[in-house]
Amino acid sequence: MKIVHASPGFGSILTEPQTIDFLSNSKLNLLLGTVDRNGEPNVHPVWYLFQDGKLYIETGKNSKKIQNIRQKNIVYFCVDDENMPYKGVRGKGEARISEDIKSNIPIAEKIMLKYTGSLDNEIAKMLMDGVKEGLSAILEISPKYYSTWDHST
């Protein structure tokens, strides 16, 4: 895991275990940066799962994110806590689109559990129905590096 200091001279860099903990346990949204066919940037706030060194996002398979990634699969991401002391992780990665329903279901379930706390609530059921019907895709992001900051130190 390549980690660089996002704010040299200010605060500290997160260690690898701290970066993994932050991404694994945070319920913050991930801001996903993509580029559209006109070369214009798009930022998408999304729910995510960090597992085995990769980031996973569930989204509609006809979403702007998917359209953009089909054109250019390099993405930028950021997860940051806007409350003091400021802390966060951003980076660049390569995105892969999975439309395989069978492999997407367990990942989507973990995302729903993380953000809604249950698969039995209305939002989770609605989103999981879309996954099971093949209306969704899972984005798998393989980060090239992480740029981290912790302003508590």
Q: Which domain holds residue 95?
A: 3-150
Smallest CA-to-CA distance from 54 within 147, 150, 146 is with: 146
What pLDDT, on a 0 to 100 scale, did the predictor assign at position 153?
Answer: 67
Q: What is the mean pLDDT of the chain?
A: 95
Is the CB of residue 59 less than 8 Å from the CB of residue 137? yes
Smallest CA-to-CA distance from 106 within 122, 119, 123, 121 is with: 119
CB atoms within 10 A of CB 76: 17
Q: What's the rounded mean pLDDT across residues 72-77? A: 97
Q: How many domains does the chain have?
A: 1
Q: Which helix (H) or strand (E) holds 24?
A: helix 16-25
Q: What's the rounded mean pLDDT across residues 132-142? A: 98
Q: What's the rounded mean pLDDT across residues 9-13? A: 85
What pLDDT, on a 0 to 100 scale, did the predictor assign at position 91?
Answer: 97
Alpha-carbon distance values, 40 to 44, 68, 74, 97, 138 (Å): 13, 10, 14, 21, 23
Q: What's the rounded mean pLDDT across residues 101-116? A: 97
Query: Tokens 């997407």 label which residue?
Result: 104
- Percentage of the residues of the chain whose pLDDT score is greater than 70: 99
CB burial class (10 A; 0-12, 13-18, 19+) of residue 62?
exposed
Confidence of residue 132 (pLDDT cuts 50, 70, 90): very high
Three-class SS state of 122: helix
Q: Is the pLDDT of residue 85 over 90?
A: no
For residue 141, report the phi and psi dihedrals to the nearest 5 degrees: -105, 125
Q: Is the pLDDT of residue 58 over 70?
A: yes
CATH for 105 = 2.30.110.10
* Radius of gyration of the chain, Cα coordinates, nearest whole angstrom: 16
